[in-house]
């Protein structure tokens, strides 16, 4: 079945880079997403990558996609305290209707 | 352009009570979804709709019903609330596949507690 896995916690020092990893199972997913959830808020789309790409860069964010290993990562450069949040990896379920399969979320804590 | 809105933001129910959560979107999206979020489990799909007048079951549909009488609204109903339905509920919407990046846009959530 479809499954998306992420580590649950990551702690980094302010100014360092953060790398959040994700593995997925559906090799036919067209898009893979990273969503950010701040405390008490909804999910905000952070970035996405199309399945025929290996890398996407967007300011401080770099997404790497390894289709062979079904591995997705999100790198945040120069991590700031405002980056503290839960980050969800998601893939589109190939069964249609754009249904998303989410990982459990990685809680990123940024400390001085 | 408000995007996706949800009402209410918070609600406390007693076991056995009923309630309806309302989701509205102003982006003319065809597809709408209801998720629940529980600690350590990410988001799980309850029901979804691919157009006005249509609904379908998701991953965890038991104990919930939905209706999509208007394209912009998607209602989630709990007929007889149970403590296991204590959760945060999120609504989302998107265009059909092939129209853009298939990105789902989320509402701010409804925090429901069932005592």
One pLDDT digit (tens) per residue for chain A, 112 residues: 568 999 889 999 999 999 999 998 877 767 889 999 998 888 998 998 888 888 999 999 999 999 889 999 999 999 999 999 999 999 877 666 778 889 999 999 999 8
A8 or B76, which is more confident: B76
Residues B110, B77: Cα–Cα separation, whole Å: 13
Q: Which residues are paired to A110 by β-bridges?
A: A12
Q: What is the pLDDT of residue B61?
A: 96
Tell me if B64 sits within 8 A of B48, measured CB to CB: no
Q: In the predicted model, is pLDDT for residue B47 greater than 90?
A: yes
Q: Which residues contact B59 (CB under 8 A, 6 or more apart)?
A: B44, B45, B46
Instruction: Determine, for residues A103 and B90 on separate chains, whether the beta-carbon distance falls below 8 Å.
Output: no
Q: Which residues are paired to B35 by β-bridges?
A: B45, B90
DSSP character for B9? S
| Per-residue pLDDT tens digits for B14-37 | 999 999 999 999 999 999 999 999
Mutation pick from A9, A97, A107 vs chain B, by most beta carbons of B within 10 Å, is: A97
What is the number of CB-based contacts under 8 A between chain A and chain B? 59
Instruction: Determine, for residues A102 and B102 on separate chains, whether the beta-carbon distance falls below 8 Å.
Output: no
| Per-residue pLDDT tens digits for B85-114 | 999 999 999 877 655 566 788 999 999 999
Write down how long chain B is: 115
Write down how long chain A is: 112
Confidence of residue B38 (pLDDT cuts 50, 70, 90): very high
Distance of CA A97 to the CA centre of its chain: 21
Residue A31, Cβ neighbours under 10 Å: how many? Answer: 17
Q: In the predicted model, is pLDDT for residue B55 greater than 80?
A: yes
Quickly list H helices, chain A.
Answer: none
Residue-wise burial string across B22-41, b where 16 or more C-beta atoms lie within 10 A, e elsewhere = ebbbeeebbbbbbbbbeeee
Q: What is the pLDDT of residue A96?
A: 65
Residue B8: strand, helix, or coil: coil
Instruction: Determine, for residues B43 and A88 on separate chains, whether the beta-carbon distance falls below 8 Å.
Output: yes
Q: What is the pLDDT of residue B7?
A: 97
């Amino acid at each position: 079945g479809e499954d998306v896995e992420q580590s649950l916690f990551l702690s980094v020092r302010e100014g360092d880079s953060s790398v959040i990893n994700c593995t997925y199972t559906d090799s036919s997913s067209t898009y893979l997403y990273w969503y950010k959830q701040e405390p008490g808020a909804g999910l905000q789309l952070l970035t996405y990558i199309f399945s025929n790409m290996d890398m996407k860069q967007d300011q401080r964010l770099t997404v790497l996609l390894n289709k062979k290993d079904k591995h997705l990562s999100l790198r945040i450069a120069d991590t700031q305290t405002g980056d503290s949040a839960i980050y969800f990896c998601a893939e589109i379920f190939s069964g249609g209707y754009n249904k998303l399969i989410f990982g459990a979320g990685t809680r990123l804590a940024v400390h001085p | 352009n408000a995007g996706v809105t949800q009402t209410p933001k918070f609600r406390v129910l007693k076991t056995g009570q009923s309630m309806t959560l309302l989701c509205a979107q102003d982006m003319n999206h065809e597809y709408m979804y209801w998720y629940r979020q529980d600690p350590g489990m990410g988001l799980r799909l309850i029901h979804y709709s691919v157009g006005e007048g249509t609904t379908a079951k998701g991953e965890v549909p038991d104990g919930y019903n939905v209706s999509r009488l208007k394209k912009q609204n998607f209602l989630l109903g709990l007929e007889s609330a149970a403590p296991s339905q204590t959760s945060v509920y999120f609504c989302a919407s998107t265009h059909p596949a092939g129209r853009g990046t298939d990105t789902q846009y989320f509402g701010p959530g409804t925090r429901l507690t069932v005592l």
